[in-house]
Structure 1
Amino acid sequence: MAKSSKAAAPKAAAKKEAAPKKAAAPKKAANSAFMTPLTPSATLAAVIGTTPLPRTEVTKKIWDYIKAHNLQDPANKRMINADAKLKPLFDGKDQVSMFDLTKFVAKHVK
């Protein structure tokens, strides 16, 4: 028996039209709640300074302080050891989790 071969139908070349270019979408404005300058309390000002800063900058400055003073627990990097300036900020605790940091900071900004 001979194999029957089906003639392959030639595919029509689909002509793709170039899609019209979309106008560049305007950049989203930053969330104003994060960018509103907040005044630090006296306890927080001892660590980051007295200048009103957005919440994001407050967190950055605290992390800069923690890293500069080597306050992360070497055994568990998620824990932050409090020094004399941070202990009042952390409600008198000797060590707090990095995930609780924003909770403590929120109490010290207006």
Structure 2
Amino acid sequence: MATLRTIGGKCRALMAAAKASTAASVESSATKTTAAKKSKPVSAANATRGILKPVPVSPTLSQFIGSNEASRTEVVKKIWDYIKLHNLQNPENKKEIICDEKLKVLFSGKDRVGFLEIAKLLSVHFVKTA
């Protein structure tokens, strides 16, 4: 019995040391990965593709944002800035936007819009290019 306790005690000590070294290596690799992601700037190649690519917009949206071309992310950001500036979020349900006259024109005349609908309703204002 004494030998089992000794072996068991040594195993626990070895396992604790292994566990500590594994945890330390996981922490350092996670820190490196997080630091690499945070410092990674948007490259020029990525800015010309997908939702970051500036595309022509409809005259209605152009009048709202003040530009003939814009990326989807830029437009959504300007819409949210406008919503927050004019306090158009429903205070009881923050997921709902109460549209004023300018937003009604953009959102097909709807009085209220869910915040997840914004991107879908704006898609008609982006001119399709070949």
Q: Is TM (by shorter chain) over 0.5? A: yes
Residue identity opposite 1:72 in structure 2: Q
Secondary structure of 2:101's partner? coil
**Equivalent position to 2:97, from 65, 80, 90:** 80
More helix by share: 2
Q: Percent identity?
A: 42
Unaligned runs of 5+ in 1: 17-23
| Corresponding residue of 1:55 | 72
Equivalent residue runs for 1:28-67 within 5 Å: 30=46, 32-67=49-84
Name the stretch that deviates more: 60-69 or 32-41.
32-41
Report the Cα offset of residue 91 of structure 1: 0.7
Q: RMSD between aligned alpha carbons?
A: 3.2
Post-superposition offset of 1:51? 4.0
TM-score between both structures, scaled by the size of structure 2: 0.62
**Whole-angstrom distance in 1 between the partners of 2:121 and 2:103:** 10
Structure of higher RCO (CA pairs closer than 8 Å, 6+ residues apart): 1
Aligned to 1:6, what secondary structure does the other structure show? Answer: helix
Matched, 1:6 2:23: no
Contact kept? 2:97, 2:113, Cα under 8 Å: yes
SS of residue paired to 1:96? strand
- Say which one has the larger Rg: 1
Q: Give the alignment partner of residue 110 of structure 2, picking from 76, 93, 96.
A: 93
